Structure formats: C-alpha cells, structure tokens
Amino acid sequence: MPEKPIRVLHVDDQRLWRSTVSDYLTLFGDYEITSAESGEQALDFLRTNPFDIIISDYQMPEMNGIEFLHLVRKRGTSTPFIFLSGIRQEDIEGDAKESGADFYVMKTGDPSVVFSVLSEKIHQAIARYTTVQAVMNTQMEDSVPSSFL
C-alpha cells in the first residue's frame, strides 16, 4: 500500500518562493503542498485542514514567522515547524528554537542542496513528532486504570 503524501503548509509572502518550494519539493518526494502568502492566510488554512508539517519564511510583512509560530502554538497545534529563510541562521536560530521551531533551513545556496536538506529536515521533524506522539499515547494508556478499558 503506497504511503500518503506529506501534507505541507508553506507560508511565504513572495510568490516566486511559494512556487519554487512547491516545484522543488515535488522533485524530492511525495508532497501535497498548500501555499499561503501570509501568516493570517495560513492560520485560516489551519482551521480547516490537517497538515503534517508547516514551513514558513521568517521575515514577512504584517506577521513575521515567529509571531505566526506563536499563534499556531497558542491554538494548541503541535504540528512540526521549519523555518525556511534567507536571514542568516545565527541571527534568528535562537529565537526560532525558543519559539518551538524544529529546524531552520537557509534559502540561499545551490537549490538542489537547499531542497535536499529541506526534504531531509521534513522527514526528521515528522519522525520525531510521530515518536513523541506514540510515547505520549502509550503513557496515557498506561495511566488509565484497567477497569476503564
């Protein structure tokens, strides 16, 4: 039985980057990509659609990536989150990690390398999330008295 495609919510205010990410990721795997041009539009998509991962630019008008991530987490969504940005990693990596991002990938460089790394980080973030969810479910099951099962 074939695996389902990975459902990606990609947020970037630049149309060229939205199409580039979509085009390249489909070369690296089975992805179903929904693109949003703003954090607000992405929040609307999150209200009605489940995603396996969120990829967001950091620097966007109106709502930057950190603000967007805070709002995502405030809503109780624990979906894995990756920043894909052109800002130097050392300038924002601390903020990204403190805010709950799983990874940070630079937009700059050879596109085949950038998107290979991004695809790898997507799989790592989803695997980690799946493992954490499985452990949490097991702990919950173990804490339920057998009389309730």
Residue pLDDT, tens place only, 58-82: 999 999 999 999 999 999 889 999 9
Report pLDDT digits (tens) over 3-18: 799 999 999 999 999 9
Structural domain includes residue 37: yes
As beta bridge partners, residue 7 has: 32
Total tally of structural domains belonging to the chain: 1
Q: Please give the residue range of the domain that contains residue 85.
A: 6-148
Rounded CA gap, 26 and 118, in Å? 12
Does the residue 1 lie in any domain?
no
Look at residue 24 and tell me whether its pLDDT is greater than 80. Answer: yes
Q: Which residues of 106-135 are buried (b: 16+ CB within 10 A; e: fewer)?
A: bbeeeeeebbebbbebbeebbeebeeeeee
Beta strand 81-85 with 103-106 is: parallel
Distance CA(104)–CA(100), nearest Å, equals: 11
